[in-house]
């Protein structure tokens, strides 16, 4: 059955691979320049608006609730860089941040260095993807995306006069870094077809972009490149990376016109990254260590050999990052599904201690620590019940200070919410963590609606995080759960390795096991359990509702990657070539067959599907708009019940949705209204 009559498909497009013929009756939707495609998307939006008209009051109420929890005038934590304090602020009624600094102290006069509200005037979309002040604090380079495809225009501003230089560099990524001469910066650009960062250029302020020098080009289409600077500021670093392999090039930052030299040549499967301080390079490497080890080597000799082991590999602990101070080395480690911060002596001494956290499930990580000489470690902390915070830990005294915490306006009391951490058992016996949060008045007797969220790809861990907007669900009796499924790195690097390529289905079956477990222990019921995921998490949602259309009563798929095989066979589509190590290369028959067996679009079947809300962006550079569009069209054709099926396409945005502070809330309110409406129907 269909809720809306789709535009009649054109003749099916035949796709032939490895002796398999696939007919795609909606392949014609791949052309964003076709007026019929735009008309179709607009019709779907109008259909959604009409079908959800009875929730408009609820949507407005949700919008006002979420907006009401946000401080009208909100500032970030100030970061001290040399003698300058940098921070940003949202002013009442304005959609975009204002970037500010003060010299010497926070009592000094404010200097506005960039007001994004002015950049956004007359623009339906505006996002500053990169901004960086020169090392002498006199110049600002910033990159602005006006479409949502993460392709930016880069400009330079004189912070002493407020005037901008004439040059505008187009087609940049937003990734840039200043050299120590205060006049030279490096930036990366995108391949126009694949939207892959493939080139690094050198620019001298005041010169024409046509004079910019290409200093590095990544010709392997499975790699991307970026530019940064070490903690010591002494080296510029080009990092080339694919899913499973890294390569680093370095250059003396005081001599930016020199040639970059290779740190260590790429070797298939070798992932590494570097930093530098006090005459030593520090190298985090997975060579013979699935969970990574930390090495050092002197900066006055060869860098590809002679590494000295500093922190050895441990089977139960993944090293995710590190920070260098004059006397301390800080490790960000993941063990037992949670992140831990470990303080060690950097040179001599036996110091070895962990910071203590008390929530059963939480998120923490190293924050921005620009100075190695200042004995203050900044780290972030939040939990399902604790708003995000920036905490300073004095490395000498152990004293801690909360320097910033997200303020929740209105009647919020963290003690009114409870978080838990439980485990489900997957089909192969693997224990899969689940983090949950709910209001203390919510009864866990099967009557509560529950949203299960998941991602499970790229080794990205979805840690227990606080959400202002989520409170609107919790206050209405919802339970919110995060399934820490394989494909992420929550339980270490092996957790990722066993959830990608030819073991990808573990991601989906783990999620199903989590849903089944929550039903089994009575936290919700069959007609009140919903699932949600975005991007690769949208693939998760699509695969799961094909495998178990009976498990969830409803689902939300945000910018879902659902036409897996067709996309991965088309190397002209942005980002495809860099994804082979994640999903597999379907030009190989074994990989093709495996991907085809779970691809959501290819496995739509005549069955009763759950209620489904799908969100998309016309200018999405990560997941092309036609994937969710085609998926919804095929579901309309195939599904055998009258379950709700909605497609919302933001016609002015990309992968991240609306760019404004408040505009983004409207999309959240729409999705929440969908869930709340479903829950009301079964009360």
User: Which CATH number belongs to the domain containing residue 672 in this structure?
Assistant: 3.40.50.1820
Percent of the chain with pLDDT over 90: 82
Residue 166, classed as helix, strand or coil, is strand
DSSP at 538: H
**Per-residue exposure over 584-595, b if at least 16 CB sit within 10 Å of its own CB, e if not:** bbbeeeebbebb
Lowest mean pLDDT among 9-23, 26-40, 211-225: 9-23
pLDDT at 654: 58
The total number of structural domains that make up the chain: 1
Band of pLDDT at residue 2, cut at 50, 70 and 90: very low
Selection from 175, 104, 115, 117 nearest residue 141 by Cα: 175
Band of pLDDT at residue 4, cut at 50, 70 and 90: low
Per-residue pLDDT of 361-394, as tens digits, reads: 899 999 999 999 999 999 999 999 999 999 999 9
Band of pLDDT at residue 349, cut at 50, 70 and 90: confident
Q: What's phi and psi for 40, nearest 5 deg?
A: -60, -45
Element (H, E) at 471: helix 471-474
Q: Is residue 74 pLDDT above 50, yes or no?
A: yes
Lowest mean pLDDT among 140-149, 395-404, 535-544: 140-149
Domain-located, residue 82: no
Domain-located, residue 680: yes
Give Dmax (Cα) for the chain.
Answer: 73
Band of pLDDT at residue 1, cut at 50, 70 and 90: very low
pLDDT at 7: 58
pLDDT at 603: 97
- 240 burial via Cβ count (<10 Å: 0-12, 13-18, 19+): buried
Point out the residues that are catalytic.
535, 620, 655
Q: Identify whether the C-beta of residue 375 lies closer than 8 Å to the C-beta of residue 449.
A: no
Cα–Cα distance for residue pair 113/284, rounded to 1 Å: 35
Domain-located, residue 614: yes
Q: Residues 292-299: contacts with CB within 8 Å, 24+ apart?
A: 292/318, 292/319, 292/320, 292/493, 293/319, 294/319, 294/322, 294/331, 299/234
Q: Is the pTM of this model over 0.75?
A: yes
The boundaries of the domain holding residue 42 are: 35-69+535-547+556-563+599-683
Domain-located, residue 542: yes
Per-residue pLDDT of 87-136, as tens digits, reads: 999 998 888 999 999 999 999 999 999 999 999 998 888 889 989 999 99
Domain-located, residue 227: no
Selection from 138, 218, 144, 136 nearest residue 176 by Cα: 144
Q: Is residue 308 pLDDT above 80, yes or no?
A: yes
Band of pLDDT at residue 676, cut at 50, 70 and 90: very high
Domain-located, residue 389: no
Cα–Cα distance for residue pair 299/415, rounded to 1 Å: 51
Cα–Cα distances (Å) from 163 to 101, 155, 207, 239, 370, in that order, read 17, 11, 16, 33, 27
Q: Is residue 8 pLDDT above 70, yes or no?
A: no
Cα–Cα distance for residue pair 640/2, rounded to 1 Å: 9
Question: Across the chain, how many H-helices and E-strands are there?
Answer: 12, 38
Q: Is residue 659 pLDDT above 70, yes or no?
A: no
Selection from 219, 236, 218, 217 nearest residue 227 by Cα: 236
Band of pLDDT at residue 336, cut at 50, 70 and 90: confident
Domain-located, residue 62: yes
pLDDT at 592: 96
Q: Is residue 655 pLDDT above 80, yes or no?
A: no
Domain-located, residue 677: yes
**Mean pLDDT of all residues in the chain?**
93
């Amino acid at each position: 059955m269909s809720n809306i009559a789709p535009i009649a498909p054109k003749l099916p497009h035949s796709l032939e691979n490895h002796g398999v013929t696939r007919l795609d009756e909606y392949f014609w939707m791949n052309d964003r320049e076709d007026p019929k495609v735009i008309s179709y998307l607009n019709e779907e939006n109008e259909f959604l608006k009409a079908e959800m008209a009875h929730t408009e009051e609820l949507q407005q109420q949700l919008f006002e609730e979420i907006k009401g929890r946000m401080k009208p005038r909100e500032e970030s934590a100030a970061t001290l860089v040399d003698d300058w304090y940098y921070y940003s602020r949202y002013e009442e009624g304005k959609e975009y941040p204002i970037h500010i600094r003060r010299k010497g102290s926070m009592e000094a006069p404010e200097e506005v260095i960039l007001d994004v509200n002015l950049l956004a005037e007359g623009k339906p979309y505006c996002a500053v993807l990169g901004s960086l002040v020169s090392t002498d604090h006199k110049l600002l380079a910033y990159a602005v995306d006006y479409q949502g495809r993460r392709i930016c225009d880069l400009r330079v501003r004189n912070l002493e006069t407020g005037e901008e230089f004439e040059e505008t560099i187009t087609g940049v990524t937003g990734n840039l870094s200043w050299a120590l001469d205060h006049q030279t910066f490096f930036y990366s650009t995108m391949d126009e077809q694949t939207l892959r960062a493939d080139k690094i250029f050198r620019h001298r302020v005041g010169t024409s972009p046509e004079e910019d020098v290409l200093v590095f080009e990544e010709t392997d289409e499975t790699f991307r490149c970026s530019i940064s600077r070490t903690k010591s500021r002494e080296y510029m670093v080009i990092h080339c990376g694919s899913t499973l392999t890294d390569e680093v090039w370095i250059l003396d930052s005081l001599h930016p016109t020199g040639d970059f030299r290779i740190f260590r040549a790429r070797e298939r499967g070798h992932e590494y990254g570097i930093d530098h301080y006090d005459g030593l390079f520090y190298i985090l490497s997975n060579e013979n260590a699935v969970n990574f080890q930390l090495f050092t080597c002197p900066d006055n000799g060869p860098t590809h050999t002679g590494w000295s082991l500093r922190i050895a590999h441990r089977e139960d602990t993944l090293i995710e990052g590190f920070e260098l101070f004059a006397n301390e080395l800080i490790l960000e480690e993941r063990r037992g599904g949670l992140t831990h911060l470990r303080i060690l002596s950097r040179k001599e001494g036996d110091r070895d201690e962990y910071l203590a956290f008390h929530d059963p499930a939480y998120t923490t990580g190293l924050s921005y620590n620009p100075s190695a000489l200042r004995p203050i470690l900044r780290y972030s902390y939040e939990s399902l019940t604790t708003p995000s915070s920036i905490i300073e830990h004095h490395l000498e005294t152990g004293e801690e200070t909360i320097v910033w915490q997200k303020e929740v306006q209105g009647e919020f009391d963290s003690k009114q919410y409870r978080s838990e951490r439980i485990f489900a058992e997957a089909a192969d016996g693997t224990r899969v963590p689940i983090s949950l949060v709910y209001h203390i008045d919510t009864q866990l007797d099967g009557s509560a609606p529950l949203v299960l969220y998941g991602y499970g790809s790229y080794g990205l861990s979805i840690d227990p995080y606080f959400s202002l907007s989520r409170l609107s669900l919790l206050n209405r009796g919802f339970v919110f759960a995060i399934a820490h499924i394989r494909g992420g790195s929550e339980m270490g690097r092996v957790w990722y390795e066993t959830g990608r390529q030819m073991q990808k289905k573990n991601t989906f079956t783990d999620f199903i096991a989590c849903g089944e477990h929550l039903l089994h222990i009575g936290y919700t019921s069959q007609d009140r359990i919903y699932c949600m995921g975005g991007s690769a998490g949208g693939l998760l949602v699509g695969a799961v509702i094909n495998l178990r259309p009976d498990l969830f009563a409803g689902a939300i798929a945000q910018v879902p990657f659902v036409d897996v095989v067709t996309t991965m066979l088309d190397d002209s589509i942005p980002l495809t070539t860099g994804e082979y190590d994640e999903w597999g290369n379907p030009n190989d028959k074994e990989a093709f067959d495996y991907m085809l067996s779970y691809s959501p679009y290819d496995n739509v079947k005549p069955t009763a599907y759950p209620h489904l809300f799908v969100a998309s962006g016309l200018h999405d550079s990560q997941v092309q708009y036609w994937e969710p569009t085609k998926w919804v069209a095929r579901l309309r054709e195939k599904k055998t019940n009258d379950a709700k099926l909605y497609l919302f396409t933001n016609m002015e945005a990309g992968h991240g949705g609306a760019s404004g502070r408040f505009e983004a809330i409207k999309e959240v309110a729409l999705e929440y209204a969908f869930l709340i409406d479903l829950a009301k129907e079964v009360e």
